[in-house]
Structure 1
Amino acid sequence: METPMREPTLDPADWSALRAVFHQAVDDGLAHLQGALDTPVWVAPPGSSKSALYEPLPRTATPAAEVYETFRNHVLPYGVGNVRPAFYGWVHGAGNAEGVLGELMAAFMNCNVGGRAHMANELERVVVDWCKDFTGLPAEASGLLTSGTSMATVLAIATARHVHADGDVGREGVAVAGRGLVGYASTEAHSCIAKAFDLLGLGRNALRAVPVNTAREMDSAALEAMIATDRAAGLKPFMVAATVGTVNTGAIDDIAGIGAIAHREGLWFHVDAAFGIGALFSDAHKAKAAPMARAESIAFDFHKWFQVPYDAGIVLIRDAKAHYETFAGRKEYLASSERGLAAGEPWYCDYGPELSRTFRALKVWFTLKSHGVDGISAIIAKNIAQARYLEDKVAAEPRLELLSPASLNIVCFRYVAPCDTAALNQLNKDIVADLQEAGIAAPSTTTLNGRTAIRVCLANHRTRRQDLDALLAGVLELGARRTAGSVAA
């Protein structure tokens, strides 16, 4: 009898040994989250840890326990810091433990959510339906989970381009079918919109930058005037993007007014609600955000104010048929079937450029099921109240200057000192870097009317008022030390 050939596999020779590594990793991961309140917000990765990772491409196997120890010692301690309560930079959510569980189980299942009949596809449909429900889009609208709002914006504008082009832009190209298309977004809009115009062949110059008013919201009168000017020049306005929660200051555009202009002018109305989607769950802000229900498309992130682990975003598109027509085009080896594994509908690869798609919906589902909308809403309300608290503290301190009113969850201020504008801008940049390197807090900077601002974005479920008090104390101490010359410039 012929001896069976031993064929290679990547399964472990000793499952119990690997199980021990997994148990250790889960314990370490939970300890990492549980201890987030008591550790510096950011620790610069040391050169020794960087050096430990740079090695020739491994040719032979390394035991999983040894691989894990390298990660544990040289990677885990040196993240970006957004799991910690004093992280206020940019707009990063803190994640949540239940979401991690969803991510872990998604990796175990290893599903490709591009299509076919399996539960990962079903669960994405569930999450998309929930999102249509709370945004107010109709049940027949379509949706697709993405890496984030940046990719979601590309999909939305691609669909708008398909609808408004003079011909089949996918087949004939932008130079033929998309000639003269122009769109609009405010000067405060996220850069992903300009990037989408670039990637889609429209060109960044085809995106008009609409001025903002004193509240940093899109100027509706200026929008109308720009549309009229472009039409008179023989161009074809086709879309306008409004923002719920600008990254600089958290401003909310006049969604109702801009939507009315878009529909009157026959434009695709897109809403960027990357983190500002949380306004729908705030009694104080819902009225301004709710008119997004009239949009042709909405893009937002789960990994920001919904606290889902990175990465997870979504695009919702009112016209499901147009969405499908923009991206569908499966080859015969991907044909659907009435029976078997190939039967599931829709195939999500027909609604975006990716055939290979990760099971993002599971960590979203774990988060929303575990905490409920009420739990997420409570965090949103807390962060908004914390922004008011910080705003009041800044206003009461003569050594600080508020640079923009807190319209949602972002506060922009600066430390003031008797020096010229350039020196004052540099001083505030240095204070922010000092705060980060000391592990006190991690705000970011932005520029408002030529002035450098210390920008504090509150989108972290672990943040406490005492963390904000520590931030202000740090700003005042470091500002005083620098102006006294005790810290090298």
Structure 2
Amino acid sequence: MAKKSGKAETGLNGKTGYLDPEDWDGFRRAAHQVLDAALDKMQNVREGRVWNPLPDEMKADLLSELPEDGEGFQEVAERITELMPYTAGNTHPRWLGWVHGSGSPGNILAEIGAAAMNANLGGRDHGPIYVEQQVIQWCKHAMGFPEGASGAVVSGTSMATIVALKTAREAHIGVEARAKGVCGARLVGYCSTQTHSCAGRAFDLLGLGSDALRKIPCDDLFRMDTEALRAQIAQDRADGFQPFVVIGTAGTVNMGSIDPLGDLADICAAEGLWFHVDGAFGAAAMLAEEVRERVAPLARADSLAFDFHKWLHVNFDAGCVLIRDHDLHLAAFSHNPDYLAKAERGLSAGPAWPKDYGPELSRGFRALKVWAHIHEHGTRTLGEAVARNCAQAEYLGAKVDADGGLELMAPVALNIVCFRHLAPVDDLNVFNHEIVVRLQESGVAVPSTTRIHGALAIRVNLTNHRTSRADLDLLIDEIHRIAADIQ
């Protein structure tokens, strides 16, 4: 038997090549330093500016050359701590712009646990796989999908849409498309002019071409016009195309409008089409008793894409796809080469692996923070946060309507309010854009902008569990103050 040596093996230049710290006590102190800074940031999130631009000297440092020699964990801890204030600001209660979730302190614990486990959720029979399976079971229940449905935790709705539409493609022309391609099938799909751009990107990435996604006009409430949809389907069939999917939206990104999901489900049933729902943030309304009925028909979808990291406040990134037909979903992605062969016993045993429900083999343990978040808060509290934001949107919409210097530019359908400041200026679009930029630069609040019928709108999105009506009152006061300064 070879004699054991207490000395570490060495590589080039006498270096060991081991990455664990030699000073575990020192590393523990550095870890606590970062944890304390993270908790301080979350505890004091209501204080200070919303957006802190990254200082020029830090930008320059982040353009430095690739280090050959490491600095050590204490220096890295200090670098991480120094960087923490310089985010977009979506944890702040007056982050009111793009649809970013506001996160939660509890997710810090889950992220620590996930980092320590370093689990690959692609497959094999280990605990984290079962955590993801429970999350999917919970989601099926919450969204009204049948027990036999399937799903996966993914990076976000963009990836979920690709998974769903690939399954829809194979459902229409057969799983042979995985090997042979679409073979001139001339597939086309349908969405409204308000649908998120991820749908067009999915058509592109699936080899269908973004032009194959027909943009259907909307009605006065910015919902897909169902008569226009029927006419376009008939026209495409007459022209030799193969319609295969309709994409409805539960909460459009521009203004929160909700397509007539029940009518779209009826049309898909009559026409033999796959019904997909983009519920990126709006699907969360299924948890809120006060607004659930507005989105409830999404339970009739063949597939649903939504995010945990938006209106459910799980830290980035975490999304979900649900597929009504488990077997179709599995057939669209399952692949088991020799080195991934399943077994009856051992680490290669267990139920179907997550890699068989999407394109990623290497998958992080995103499901842990979702699982922990739901365990910590429960769906009732998460639903109450959604309902409160909807009530705040109605409050802000009414406040704008009652203000003679402001104009509401779209109905408040869910949680987004679009309006502009009226002033005797040459260009209201430029004027309102400047208001938004100055608000962001001031650090007081961060709304965003969009365009409605070509006119620029100040867009206030409410997917923030920390926002109060007082924050909205301050926003309006600041808009008036900045407008007066500009004129």
Are the equivalent residues in 2 in contact too, given 1:115–1:344 (CA < 8 A)? no
Question: Would you say 1:60 and 2:62 are equivalent positions?
Answer: no
Matches of 2:158 and 2:174 in 1, distance apart?
A: 26
Q: CA deviation at 1:5?
A: 5.1
Task: Kindly indicate whether residue 74 of structure 2 is the aligned counterpart of residue 72 of structure 1.
Answer: no
| 2:167 is aligned with 1:159 | yes
Matched residue, 2:326: 320
Q: Distance in 1 between matches of 2:372 and 2:4?
A: 50
Contact in 1 for aligned 2:34/2:80 (Cα 8 Å): no
Partner of 1:37, secondary structure, is: coil
Distance 1:51 1:367 in 2: 37
Is 1:448–2:452 an aligned residue pair? yes
Q: Please state if 1:220 is matched with 2:226.
A: yes
- Map of 1:350-429 to 2, 5 A cutoff? 350-420=356-426, 423-429=427-433
| CA 424–2 in structure 1, closer or farther in 2 if over 3 Å, else same | closer
Deviation track 1:159-191 (CA, whole Å, cap 9, x = no partner) reads 0011112671111112x1x52100000000000
Give the aligned partner of residue 106 of structure 1.
114
Instruction: For 2:174 and 2:185, locate their aligned partners in 1 and report how far apart those are by CA, in whole Å.
Output: 8
SS in 1 for 2:131: helix
Tell me the CA shift for residue 35 of structure 1: 0.8
- Which residue of the other structure, out of 146, 150, 163, is the alignment partner of 1:142? 150
Q: Match of 2:45, SS?
A: helix
TM-score (norm 1): 0.96
Counterpart secondary structure, 2:313: coil
3-state secondary structure, aligned to 2:191: strand
Pick aligned residue for 2:137 from 129, 144, 167:
129
1:2-41 matched pairs, under 5 angstroms:
3=5, 6-7=8-9, 8=16, 9-41=18-50
Q: Deviations over 1:222-277 (max 9, x none)?
A: 11110000011111100000000000010011110000001110000001000001
SS of alignment partner, residue 343 of structure 1: coil
1:53 to partner: Cα distance: 2.3
- Secondary structure class of the residue paired with 2:445: coil
Q: Deviations over 1:125-160 (max 9, x none)?
A: 000000000111111111000000000000000000
Whole-angstrom distance in 1 between the partners of 2:367 and 2:80 = 27
Aligned position for 2:202: 196
The SS at the match of 2:85 is helix
Q: Residues 420 and 432 of structure 2 are in contact (CA less than 8 Å); yes or no, is this contact kept in structure 1? A: yes
| Alpha-carbon distance in structure 2 between the residues aligned to 1:284 and 1:234 | 45
Return the letter of the residue paired with 1:427: F
* Cα distance, 1:2 vs structure 2: 7.2
Q: Could you tell me which of 266, 272, 279 is aligned with 1:266?
A: 272
Task: Please say if residues 113 and 358 of structure 1, whose CA atoms lie closer than 8 Å, have aligned partners that are also in contact.
Answer: yes
Residue 54 of structure 1: how far off its partner (Å): 2.3
Q: Distance in 1 between matches of 2:84 and 2:336?
A: 41
Pick closer, same or farther for the CA change 1:389–1:294 going to 2, 3 Å. Answer: same
Shift of 1:71: 2.3
Aligned residue type for 2:405: R
Q: How many pairs are equivalent?
A: 478
Residue aligned with 1:404, SS: coil
Structure 2: stretches of 5+ with no match in the other structure: 10-15
Does residue 474 of the first structure (1) align with residue 478 of the second (2)? yes
Distance in 2 (alpha carbons) for counterparts of 1:3 and 1:447: 70
Q: Note the residue ranges of structure 1 that are not aligned, 5 or more in a row.
A: 484-489
Aligned partner of residue 342 in structure 1, secondary structure: coil
Give deviations 1:62-113, integer Å, cap 9, x for gaps.
Answer: 121111112222x111001000000011101100011221122111100000
Deviation at 1:284, TM superposition (A): 3.9
The one-letter amino acid paired with 2:123 is: G
What secondary structure sits across from 1:36 in the alignment? coil
Q: Which amino acid aligns with 1:469?
A: D
**Structure 1 position 56, deviation (Å):** 1.6
Q: Report the aligned-residue RMSD.
A: 1.2
Matches of 2:356 and 2:394, distance apart in 1: 44
Matched residue SS, 2:348? helix
Which residue does the alignment assign to 1:245? 251
> Counterpart in 2 of 1:256?
262
2:358 is aligned with what amino acid? Answer: G
- Give how far 1:307 is off: 0.4
Give the conservation status (yes or no) of the 8 Å contact 2:289–2:383: no
Once the two structures are superposed, residues 384-427 of structure 1 have per-residue CA deviations (whole angstroms, 9 ceiling, x without a partner) of 1110111111111111110011110000000111134xx11011
Q: Deviations over 1:311-349 (max 9, x none)?
A: 000000011111111111121011111111111211111
Aligned CA distance change for structure 1 residues 27 and 5 (closer, same or farther; 3 Å): closer
Percent identity, aligned pairs only, is 48
- Deviation of 1:278 after TM superposition, in Å, equals 2.1
Q: TM-score, normalised by structure 2?
A: 0.96
Question: What amino acid is aligned across from residue 66 of structure 1 in structure 2?
Answer: E
- CA distance in 1 between counterparts of 2:97 and 2:350 reads 42
- Aligned 8 A contact 1:256 1:288 in 2: no
User: Are 1:438 and 2:442 counterparts?
Assistant: yes
Of 461, 465, 481, 2:465 maps to: 461
Measure the CA separation in 2 of the matches of 1:77 and 1:134.
35
Q: Kindly report structure 1 stretches of 4+ aligned residues shifted beyond 2 Å.
A: 1-5, 281-285
1:59, distance to aligned residue in structure 2 (A):
1.1
> Is the CA contact (8 Å cut-off) linking 1:415 and 1:428 kept in structure 2?
yes
Task: Tell me which of 283, 302, 308 is aligned to 1:302.
Answer: 308
For 1:115, the equivalent position in structure 2 comes to 123
Query: Letter of the aligned partner of 2:385 in structure 1?
Result: I
Which of the residues 309, 317, 340 maps onto 1:311?
Answer: 317
Q: Whole-Å Cα distance in 1 between the matches of residues 476 and 432 of structure 2?
A: 13
Aligned to 1:441, what secondary structure does the other structure show?
A: coil
| Distance (Å, rounded) in 2 between the aligned partners of 1:210 and 1:442 | 32
- Note if contact 1:255-1:288 (Cα within 8 Å) is conserved in structure 2: no
User: How many Å apart are 1:6 and its aligned residue?
Assistant: 1.6
Matched to 1:189, the amino acid is T
How far apart, CA to CA, are the structure 2 residues paired with 1:234 and 1:361? 43
C-alpha separation between the residues in 2 aligned to 1:310 and 1:4? 43
